[in-house]
Structure 1
């Protein structure tokens, strides 16, 4: 017989042994939000779930159960085979730890495949994430990376992370670069997924002597960072990257790849076109239409993004520590920040 476990017990098991967590909800539910690193082996696909749900609401519970049993019976061999191919311990969950996960765990048990069932399902996990973030005690010594658009702040953080430094990549967690063009070419996460990934990263970094993250605005694409993080960002040590305009243009072209997403960038630009002086806006649009992306980016930086960043920098607290690095590219920025961090550790 299968064993029910709490979320706390599941997380303890994950620290002690290899255990695969499996979401048996429908593909759309899984895509919307799930436990980090879980797999999706759905008991019902989206259409089947809708059909059973309709019977449950409009006919009877019994009718829904009978149709659900009919659907599951037809796919049992493939369903069990998918679980049997997974090595090691397994834990399954659904929305509330109800019928779908119980059915899955029971069927697997009958086939001598042991699987834990998560009590409370995804709903219990989501409540835990919210509670943890609402009461999180942020004790890190922090360094916040600032710089005008195009200074490669995310690239810099990725380089620092690869070299072993504790980094919180907020844009990566959000699936968004933080600008009006930030979602293009990426999959933007919703608030539930962002919260889950953020909490997991914070917990993984808890023993670090310090943490590095970018000076984002409170809203990043579709998501909003927790209040404690927004407040700490303003009081942390500020590391400012200054880079020549042409270097920033080159960095943006490398990061955003406008030649691959031309129509999307033009559509996004038209959302902010009215905020830019009319002759300049017209010139930017002409450049985008003619594939003169470097010229368009330079004008956007000079007439839209740089003035916005100057205004936001004025809002910074005057009593926080501010360190400026004047560099020509991201590689130089990495060298400068690494040298600074080495000095701090002495």
Structure 2
């Protein structure tokens, strides 16, 4: 290791990773586990940048240096006042330049073996992007397909609890994927943050074991799924859930019950379907929403929007869907979902490519 400089491959060698960028940069994405200790806050960064453009680089450095010194002193007094002599931190900024360099200089003057990340966050980001081009092809994906309301995400949860490997893209994207899919308590991450978490998740999986993943389109809300992963999913074996209409409707009403808490927002989401449904249909749906008649509303969603969309897209997008083993169910309660997951796992252990239809034992 070059004195005072470290590479991305050496991240695990440090006791702490410090992000010296502004809070806004940190919020957009960061190296996993890093703590935010900005040497310039959001407003200060704007001030220094403006002076650099409108006056001179010297004046920007002169004013910025005072701000940086003050902020580093604050971190030393509050965040690092109790660190032992053998503490080894790694500091990074945007591209391994002056912000992290100044921080490391002070830390090393104190006596800590601090290092600066070579190339900064930009190097980390380039590695994530490159790895996401290569990683998906290493895995034996099993794509869980089924019409909206088939409890695919809950089946993934149940599979994980039973010991299977799963890749829950909707959890990483904080979105259920449909036009109604925004979560009430979790904003979606930034694209960069999503890709960092996807990178971490894939690295934690064992390529020697199957990985179950839900069928997704290229976008989950406003998050774009990396192209290499989409390609791998669309070429992978599929598992098809065929739940009864009654079971799906009951599940949707339960799983999306929170939509009834904000009728104005639900009506706004319905308006997103303009151009896909007639104005008359959209007005009827908004009236149903206003009446809190979610069962009737969701039944029409299934019949007029989700099912036609599913039947158009699934065969076209997933090349091995026509040969997928089919798991039928008329029970999508928590117990029914667990039973469905157990049947999927049992079939996966018994050469699923040889199966054509796997019926619910309770189905005649």
TM-score (norm 2): 0.84
Q: Is the contact between residue 24 and residue 93 of structure 1 (CA under 8 Å) also seen in structure 2?
A: yes
C-alpha distance after superposition, 1:74-105 (max 9, x if no partner):
34443112134678643221100111111112
What root-mean-square deviation, in Å, do the aligned CA atoms of Structure 1 and Structure 2 show?
Answer: 2.5
SS class of match (1:212)? strand
Q: Superposed, which structure 2 residues align to 1:64-103 within 5 Å?
A: 64-80=60-76, 81-84=78-81, 89-103=88-102
Q: Is the contact between residue 2 and residue 106 of structure 1 (CA under 8 Å) also seen in structure 2?
A: no
Distance in 2, matches of 1:105 and 1:276, equals 59
Count of aligned pairs: 341
C-alpha distance after superposition, 1:41-93 (max 9, x if no partner):
21111101100111122222221122122223434443112134678643221
Q: Does 1:249 align with 2:249?
A: yes
Q: Which residue of 2 aligns with 1:6?
A: 7
Q: Does 1:23 align with 2:23?
A: no
Q: Does 1:149 align with 2:148?
A: yes
Q: Superposed, which structure 2 residues align to 1:57-68 within 5 Å?
A: 57-68=53-64
Q: Does 1:339 align with 2:336?
A: no
Q: Is the contact between residue 315 and residue 322 of structure 2 (CA under 8 Å) also seen in structure 1?
A: no
Q: Which residue of 1 aligns with 2:355?
A: none
Q: Which residue of 2 aligns with 1:302?
A: 303
**What is the deviation of 1:340?**
3.3
Q: Superposed, which structure 2 residues align to 1:309-324 within 5 Å?
A: 309-315=310-316, 316-317=318-319, 321-324=323-326
Distance in 2, matches of 1:248 and 1:319, equals 20
Q: Which residue of 2 aligns with 1:117?
A: 116
Q: Is the contact between residue 154 and residue 337 of structure 2 (CA under 8 Å) also seen in structure 1?
A: no
Q: Is the contact between residue 89 and residue 114 of structure 2 (CA under 8 Å) also seen in structure 1?
A: yes
Q: Is the contact between residue 2 and residue 109 of structure 1 (CA under 8 Å) also seen in structure 2?
A: no
Unmatched runs of 5 consecutive residues or more in structure 2:
351-364
196-205 vs 93-102, which deviates more? 196-205
Distance in 2, matches of 1:117 and 1:139, equals 32
The 1:101–1:248 alpha-carbon spacing in structure 2 relative to 1, beyond 3 Å, is same
Unmatched runs of 5 consecutive residues or more in structure 1:
none
Q: Does 1:158 align with 2:160?
A: no
The 1:85–1:172 alpha-carbon spacing in structure 2 relative to 1, beyond 3 Å, is farther
Distance in 1, matches of 2:195 and 2:137, equals 15
Distance in 1, matches of 2:16 and 2:100, equals 15
Distance in 2, matches of 1:26 and 1:86, equals 23
C-alpha distance after superposition, 1:263-306 (max 9, x if no partner):
22211111214422444322211011222223222211221111
**What is the deviation of 1:7?**
0.7
**What is the deviation of 1:230?**
1.8
Q: Does 1:275 align with 2:294?
A: no
The 1:312–1:70 alpha-carbon spacing in structure 2 relative to 1, beyond 3 Å, is same
C-alpha distance after superposition, 1:121-173 (max 9, x if no partner):
11111111122223446132221111111222122212322333211111122
Q: Is the contact between residue 2 and residue 105 of structure 1 (CA under 8 Å) also seen in structure 2?
A: no
Q: Does 1:134 align with 2:102?
A: no
90-99 vs 221-230, which deviates more? 221-230
Q: Is the contact between residue 236 and residue 320 of structure 1 (CA under 8 Å) also seen in structure 2?
A: no
**What is the deviation of 1:109?**
2.5
266-275 vs 71-80, which deviates more? 71-80
286-295 vs 46-55, which deviates more? 286-295
**What is the deviation of 1:113?**
4.1
**Quick one: which of 12, 36, 40 aligns to 2:36?**
40
TM-score (norm 1): 0.88
